[in-house]
Amino acid sequence: MRWKIKEDGNKEQVAQLEKELAIPKIIAKLLVERGITTFDAAKNFFRPSIESLHDPFLMEDMQKAVDRINEAIDTEQSILVYGDYDVDGTASVALMYSFLSRFTANIEFYQPDRYAEGYGVSLKSIEYAKEKKINLIIALDCGIKAVDKIEKANEYGIDFIICDHHTPGKTIPDAWAILNPKKITCSYPYDELCGCGIGLKLAQAVTTTRDENEETWKELLDLVAIAIAADIVPMTGENRILAYHGLKRVNENPRVGIATILELANKKVDLTITDLVFKLAPRINAAGRMASAKKAVELLLSKDENSSKEWSETINAYNNQRRDLDAAITDEALKMVREDDESKNSTVVFQKGWHKGVVGIVASRLIESYYKPTIVLSVNDGMATGSARSVKGFDVHAAIEQCSDLLEQFGGHKYAAGLSLKIENVEAFRKRFEKVVSDSITQEQQTREIGIDGILNAEEIKPSRYGDVFPKLYRLIEQFAPFGPGNMKPIFIMKNLYDNQGWSRVVGGTHLKISAKQKGENLSLNGIAFGLGEKISITENQKPFQAVFSLDKNYFNDKYTLQLMVKDIKEM
């Protein structure tokens, strides 16, 4: 891993902010790095306000979408809410269905079967809508590339509203309305909303036209926070505002379904975005991976504790199955990579019978061992279907697009994508993808890098007052949350560390529990370095070392303590 200390940036702005806000220099530097250079900007950053959200009608086609929904409600037309089977899609469907159910009973939801229908809008769903005499379909987190499907819906007299955040293709579907800030013709001020976020903007707009209380759409913020966390969209602008207030709702007044699933995950207090990513999202995702995403929607819509508990237990069982499959397939895939040419710049592995629901997770696992753009495919009935994951800075979606003539379908983001192709095209695709990656990936992108925000000394993280658990610096950093891409938790480096009387040790077989002191300081520093157990040799025998870490709090035995989340250690 390459350590890279970030440059100081505009020193005058840092000094001015340090003075105006009476904050440590490192905090001022972190703010300037995020484009926050004035007192007012800092105030808005530390206190994200719902009032700062943009007017939803700034989004192209919003008025058309709202008018069509209001017409459907007022004339008792049938509405079908359609969403993808991942967390963003599932949360989007739960959001839109629960919102529109306030105004009409002529509504149902539909989520495609991952295995029978695949990603996005399916022809099967269009036929279903025709059979059920649906007048309007609202597609969330998908649809921007469903040109032929929407053409078929138009033939049947079914109107489509698309709420999607994926990059549009060359041809835009002929839908009634398309809400997608990434459209070239859309001038909405923020283009990084997730699918659920766009769904919320639509709900917000409908609320204003029906003279409803703002709480009607604000009570949906918890679902948006979950989608933002799971879809790993930038934690900037509107996303940060929505995540901040949504997370607050999850902590203070969680809906029944969320509360029951969190109880099974043994997480009840002070939930963070990280908890949503690692505790909640995998369980919601497991329904669509192992069975049907409809079960996750039912859980999120549930208002009864008994039924909610049943849904939660079912979904938790799916998650346990998913983990077993994930581990088994990862072992097989790693063996394939080891037997292949390790000098390649990309990884593409495939196997008949691999469970399609976990190939994305397996791709992420392979990157942990072999740091290169990775695609894992499952082969069934003559088709290879799978997921791609990427390394920092490399656009895997763009790379796949250069191989599109070999594919049946593809879509996604810079760092994650889905694709399907005929089995006879797999070898040609592997060669083409490898060439595209080799021609465009840089040496920097091929090396794992950890960006370091600054140097800290033990003195700076001492509690400032007797009885305090956390120092002022930590309390200020905590206010940078919620963290995510574009607003990552700050990373620091501390030098001249020594093991604290031999208390550092390996725990759980692979993790390094660190107890250390900095030279010349008395403060005991406790940390955990996950997966770095083999580096115990660096801390032994009172040898000086340096560590890269973030500041975190540890909750144990009903007590909070400051903890270093150690990313890497090296000898001095």
**What integer pLDDT is reported at residue 62 of this predicted model?**
98
Is the domain of 34 the same as that of 84? Answer: no
Interacting residues of 443 by C-beta distance below 8 A, sequence separation 6+: none
Decide if 251 is inside a domain. Answer: no
CA distance linking residue 159 with residue 531, whole number of Å:
52
Same domain, 40 and 102: no
Instruction: Report which DSSP code applies to 133.
Output: T
- The verdict on 401 and 527 lying in the same domain is no
Q: Which domain holds residue 428?
A: 340-449
| Within a domain: 180 | yes
Q: Are strands 511-518 and 505-507 parallel, antiparallel or unpaired?
A: antiparallel
Domain limit, last residue, from 159, 188, 212: 212
CB 308 within 8 A of CB 519: no
Taking every pair of Cα atoms in the chain, the longest distance, rounded to a whole number of angstroms, is: 79
Q: Where does residue 202 rank: exposed (0-12), middle (13-18), buried (19+ CB within 10 A)? A: buried
Say yes or no: 374 and 477 in one domain. no
Number of domains in the chain: 4
Exposed/middle/buried for 101, CB within 10 Å: 0-12, 13-18, 19+?
Answer: middle
The verdict on residue 70 lying in a domain is yes
In a domain, 256, yes or no: no
E runs forming strands in 423-501: 449-452, 454-455, 492-499
- By three-state DSSP, how is residue 76 classified? coil
Euclidean distance between CA atoms 51 and 285, whole angstroms: 32
State the 10-residue block means of pLDDT for the chain, 572 residues long.
87 94 94 94 95 97 98 98 93 98 97 84 96 98 95 98 93 97 97 97 97 94 96 94 96 91 78 90 88 90 90 91 92 93 91 89 93 94 92 95 94 87 96 97 92 94 77 94 94 96 90 95 93 93 94 85 95 92
Residue 300: inside a domain, yes or no? no
Residues 418 and 387 in one domain: yes
Looking at the structure, do residues 64 and 179 belong to the same domain, yes or no?
A: yes
Same-domain pairing of 110 and 157: yes
- Is residue 74 included in any domain, yes or no? yes
* Whether 459 and 442 share a structural domain: no
pLDDT at 559: 83
DSSP state of 356: G
Q: Of 411, 434, 449, which residue is a domain's last?
A: 449
**391, 425, 449: which is the final residue of a domain?**
449
Phi, psi (5° rounding) for residue 83? -150, 155
CATH number at 552 reads: 2.40.50.460
Asked if residue 72 is part of any domain, the answer here is yes
Tell whether 73 and 154 lie within a shared domain. yes
Tell whether 310 is covered by a domain. no
Distance CA 562, CA 569 (A): 19
Query: Residue 413's domain is classified under what CATH number?
Result: 3.10.310.30
66 and 169: one domain?
yes
Bridge partners for 4 per DSSP: 451
Angle between helix 305-339 and 359-369 (nearest 10): 50
Do 406 and 513 lie in one domain? The reply is no
What is the reported pLDDT for 116? Answer: 82
* Single-letter amino acid code for the residue at 153: A
403 and 369 both lie in a single domain? yes
CATH code, 176: 3.90.1640.30
Q: Are 275 and 267 in contact (CB under 8 A)?
A: yes
Q: What is the pTM of this model?
A: 0.89
User: CA-to-CA distance for 89 and 140, rounded, in angstroms?
Assistant: 6
